[in-house]
Amino acid sequence: MRWMLAALIACPPPAFAAVLERIPSMELRAPSISFQTPQLAMPSVPLTAALSMTPLLAAPAIAAAPIPVTAAVATPIDALGALTAFSRSVRAQSVTPTQALATTFDGSLSAASAPDPVQGPDSAKTPAPLSPAPKTPAQRMKAAAPNLLTFSNMASGLTAMLLATDAHFLAAGIFILLANLFDALDGRAARALKVNNPLGTDMDSLADVVSFGAAPAILIFKAALLPTFGWWGFPVAAAFAAAGLYRLARFNVGAHAEKSGAVPAKSNDSFTGLPIPGGAGVIVALTMALAAIPAAAVAPVAVIATLLTAAAMVSRLPYPAFKTGGAKALIAPALVASTAVTALAALGLPAFIPAAVFGLYLASGPLIALTKRY
């Protein structure tokens, strides 16, 4: 662009007009513009007459040009010499091709392309990888093991969604519980193999959105809400999925803040809010118990249980994590769960056993909060 401006300045329009006057047959004919009125057609204009007006248009460019314009520069040969001299002056500056493209018309470099006076022009920095790349096949397999468990978690959630859409509700619930098992194993495998990294943490959360957010929402919608409310029951299922998404995002933000040192590390003896795998377990247990619930009570029970679970996930209630204390921390929960299971089995209500186990965990958050308060 700067060479074209230099040519325009070095060879003013009158010089072009003097050359073109030797070709009397050339005309600049404006196209006729006619929508419905032929009277708007414009007459032809000779090229020499059109060029006679260009000095007025070229005056601002000549006034702003850094190259002095004199009356002697008026031939195409002089214009070619000016372009050659301008090209030699650019090459004499010894700039890189990238800097040459960023050179302004007056020969200066823009601030974005100027080299760093301290680090130099070749000091481009590349972002550091998340973790060192494994070198040997054994190291690659070691690093890939937790990720394979995470992928199995996601695949189980996808399978559950496909089964739920085909009305295979029991099989869909089993695959959600299977995804829960894979989710429990991938983190433990990463810690045991010492391959923890932020990528694996985020992948685990994204897989949980599928397996414990979307899959249970579709399951409860197809099994209990759609038959009674139609599509009016979809907001209830969507509320559960949205609560799970919020729960995972809040957990990730807190985990990254603890690793960076922005906030003090929190003890692992409790979760803030109901974990999303526990929320998915409540929905699965409820679905398994639907056959034993009276038909008139299925929809109200499903709505109340789903919304309570969603509220527990976004709450700040403390829920036991069972990560510290060893086997002693599991004694009391195991006794309570075994008592509930025995009572339901004695009453001939085996369909309510999963609902009782996950229901007790859902109620543990408010109970712990009340115990600490009083």
Q: How far apart are CA 6 and CA 80, in angstroms?
A: 10
Q: Beta strands of the chain (E only): which ranges?
A: 27-28, 45-46, 270-272, 318-320
Q: How far apart are CA 298 and CA 321, in angstroms?
A: 31
Q: Write down the domain spans for the chain.
A: 2-29+43-101, 142-373
Confidence at residue 316, expressed as pLDDT on a 0 to 100 scale: 93
Mean of per-residue pLDDT scores for the chain: 75
Residue indicated by tokens 């060893």: 326
pLDDT digits (tens, 9 = 90+) for 208-246: 999 999 999 999 999 999 999 999 999 999 999 999 999
Identity of residue 371:
T
Confidence at residue 342, expressed as pLDDT on a 0 to 100 scale: 87
* Ramachandran assignment for 114, one of left (phi > 0), alpha (psi -120 to 50 degrees), beta (any other): beta
Q: How far apart are CA 152 and CA 178, in angstroms?
A: 9
Confidence at residue 116, expressed as pLDDT on a 0 to 100 scale: 47
Task: Specify the DSSP class assigned to residue 195.
Answer: -
Confidence at residue 224, expressed as pLDDT on a 0 to 100 scale: 94
Asked whether the beta carbons of 185 and 156 are under 8 A apart, the reply is no
Confidence at residue 373, expressed as pLDDT on a 0 to 100 scale: 72
Mark the ranges of the chain whose per-residue pLDDT is less than 70. Answer: 1-135, 267-268, 324-329, 374
Confidence at residue 313, expressed as pLDDT on a 0 to 100 scale: 96
Confidence at residue 86, expressed as pLDDT on a 0 to 100 scale: 58
Confidence at residue 78, expressed as pLDDT on a 0 to 100 scale: 58
Residue 207 CA neighbour count, 13 Å, CB half: 27
Token representation of residue 310: 């969603």
Confidence at residue 334, expressed as pLDDT on a 0 to 100 scale: 81
Token representation of residue 129: 């990888």
CATH class of 142-373: mainly alpha
Confidence at residue 345, expressed as pLDDT on a 0 to 100 scale: 85
Token representation of residue 218: 């579709």
Among residues 309, 307, 302, which one has the least CA distance to residue 229? 302
SS3 363: helix
